[in-house]
Amino acid sequence: MKDYQRNLVYSWENSIVAPNDNFVMSMSECQNFVEFVWANEGRTVPPLVVESRKVIRATGSRLTIELPNIKKGSWARKRWVLLHEISHAILDNSHITGSTLSYGHGPIFVDRYINLLVKYMYMSRDQLVSEAMSRGIRVAVD
């Protein structure tokens, strides 16, 4: 299945979300943040945050959030990146269903991500949804 919104989402978050987060975290702070959000969302056994030389982009699944090596840039050690990957992890049900179905960066993912940005970065839901939709990003509105 084609992830038709991925580039649109990346562009939107780089111009609208990223400028609101200037604090770079250590790996242990990243893990603590993931554990905090995971628990607040009513979940158990959070993904493990790892640094990888193999990835150039952050990736997230139910079990692991991989961040690029710090030498490739500190951009990945920020709340907005972790919330993006936590959104993927929350929507990853493969451990339950055995399915490889992915929400990618589709409307359900974007809605989940926006909800986390509002809750943990205190951003305006109305502004985030409006900006996303004005860029052609579909959002599954609650």
- pLDDT tens digit string along 43-65? 999 999 999 888 888 988 889 99
pTM over 0.75: yes
Q: What is the mean pLDDT of the chain?
A: 90
pLDDT, residue 60, reads 87
Task: Give the model's pLDDT for residue 77.
Answer: 96
Return the H-helix or E-strand segment holding 141: none
For residue 20, is pLDDT > 50?
A: yes
Q: pLDDT higher for 95 or 56?
A: 56
Q: Which residue has the tokens 């150039």?
A: 56
d(CA 113, CA 89) in angstroms, rounded, equals 11
Q: Who wins on pLDDT, 11 or 142?
A: 11
Closest CA to 57 of 37, 72, 79, 71: 72
Give the percent of the chain with pLDDT over 90: 73
Helices (H), the chain: 6-12, 27-40, 79-91, 94-97, 107-121, 125-134
Q: What is the mean pLDDT of residues 109-123?
A: 97
- Write out pLDDT tens, residues 32-45: 999 999 999 999 99
pLDDT at 136: 97
pLDDT at position 102, please?
56
Q: Provide the pLDDT for residue 142.
A: 60
More confident residue, 142 or 27: 27
